[in-house]
Amino acid sequence: MTQVTDHRGGVRSLRVPIPDNPLGHTLVYVVDTDRGPVLIDTGWDDPESWDTLTEGLTACGTSVTEIHGVVVTHHHPDHHGLSGRVREASGAWIAMHAADTAVVRRTREARPERWFSYMVAKLTAAGAPEEHIAPLRAARPRALPGLSPALPDRDIAPGELLDLPGRRVRAIWTPGHTPGHVCLHLEESHPARLPGHGRLFSGDHLLPGITPHIGLYEDPDDTTVTDPLGDYLDSLERVGRLAPAEVLPAHQHPFPDAAARVRELLTHHEDRLSALLALLAEPLTPWQLAERMEWNRPWDQIPYGSRNIAVSEAEAHLRRLVKLGRAEAVPGSEPVTYVAVR
């Protein structure tokens, strides 16, 4: 049975399931506007998820055919996956920040072989063992899930009031979890008159009990060295200054006091960077660092695909330490190793 929550003030949420994922579901928000309902995210492209979304919209007194627009917080498939089906059913527009649209475009245009060769090169450079890389060398499937995400119709510009007639929803660019992640600030009085400035649809940027993954989303043809963790920490502070009365996240549950949660996350990342510096008393590759980092389970229990994500996060933290001058690459090392600056 579809779970619908009425947050009042013309905002409801639907719990759309994510198949085979410990997160369980995505909270898809239905926002009433003068031209019909607008969705904030859509959920995973899966038959059960689609049925849950459409049944939930019916329970809200509307239908998927009446959707006016879709605002996507970021390109991940548990947020953007069903956007194309919603557009096909309703004619709705889809809006996304240009940086994530670029990722979507690369995903659509790249052949699976290109993705595998890129991953082999990245993991080799990170110091991954051959037994981890070998399956990627051999794998040549015809298709990979999530390789045909819908191209958006509109760009979301940072700071703009979105074209949602009768509502005041401002886009807040919050890169880090993805390059084009956006939060959406509903600049309207809280329906329960909680203290603070409106409500914040926070996507994955600010969650009540989870620290979002910070990894790398890079164009293989672009040599720019990004700093996604630095971007995320800057974005956190920006959101904390908004001081919304309530945060409406894409997972778990709504919560008050965004500033307190921001402080917790900033402290968490500073503690984690300090712990990594202790590990870097000896030179380590990104893979070796990932093996030694604290995760939600021991390294030998982390699934194959999740290890790739973990190495990406280790590299994001290394880039932050290098940019801060607290770690450096060891000259001549191959694969490259990093060591703390004493």
pLDDT greater at residue 222 or residue 86: 86
For residues 180 and 250, give the distance between their C-alpha atoms in angstroms, rounded to a whole number. Answer: 16
Q: Is the pLDDT of residue 17 over 80?
A: yes
Tokens 């917080």 belong to: 73
Those residues whose C-beta lies under 8 Å from the C-beta of residue 85, and which sit 6 or more positions away, are: 42, 45, 50
For residues 65 and 114, give the distance between their C-alpha atoms in angstroms, rounded to a whole number. Answer: 37
Q: In the structure encoding, which two tokens stand for residue 284, read together?
A: 């380590």
Question: In this structure, are residues 279 and 290 in contact, taking their beta carbons and an 8 Å threshold?
Answer: no
Q: Which of 210, 211, 206 is nearest to 247 (CA)?
A: 206
Please give the radius of gyration of the chain, using alpha carbons only, rounded to the nearest integer. 21
Residue 111: the pLDDT is: 73
66 three-class SS: helix
Residue 2: the pLDDT is: 62
Computed over every residue of the chain, the mean pLDDT equals 93
- Average pLDDT for 198-213: 96
What's the chain's length in residues? 342
Residue 114: the pLDDT is: 77
Q: If pLDDT is split at 50, 70 and 90, which confidence band does 314 have?
A: very high
Least confident of 12-16, 18-22, 124-128, 306-310: 18-22
End-to-end CA gap in the chain? 58
For residues 262 and 280, give the distance between their C-alpha atoms in angstroms, rounded to a whole number. Answer: 27
**Cα-based distances in Å from 200 to 11, 62, 173, 206, 313:** 12, 24, 12, 10, 26
Cα 15 from chain centre: 17
Per-residue pLDDT reduced to its tens digit, 256-276? 999 999 999 999 999 999 999
Residue 139: the pLDDT is: 65
DSSP element (H, E) containing 321: helix 304-323
Per-residue pLDDT reduced to its tens digit, 59-87? 999 999 999 999 999 999 999 999 999 99
Q: Is the pLDDT of residue 145 over 80?
A: no
Question: In this structure, are residues 188 and 198 in contact, taking their beta carbons and an 8 Å threshold?
Answer: yes
pTM: 0.94
Q: Is the pLDDT of residue 106 over 60?
A: yes
Least confident of 17-31, 133-147, 162-176, 246-260: 133-147
Q: If pLDDT is split at 50, 70 and 90, which confidence band does 146 have?
A: low
Tell me the one-letter amino acid at 192: A
Residue 22: the pLDDT is: 82
What number of other Cβ atoms are within 10 A of residue 105's Cβ?
14
Question: In this structure, are residues 172 and 241 in contact, taking their beta carbons and an 8 Å threshold?
Answer: no
Q: If pLDDT is split at 50, 70 and 90, which confidence band does 235 have?
A: very high
Q: In the structure encoding, which two tokens stand for residue 13, read together?
A: 């949420």
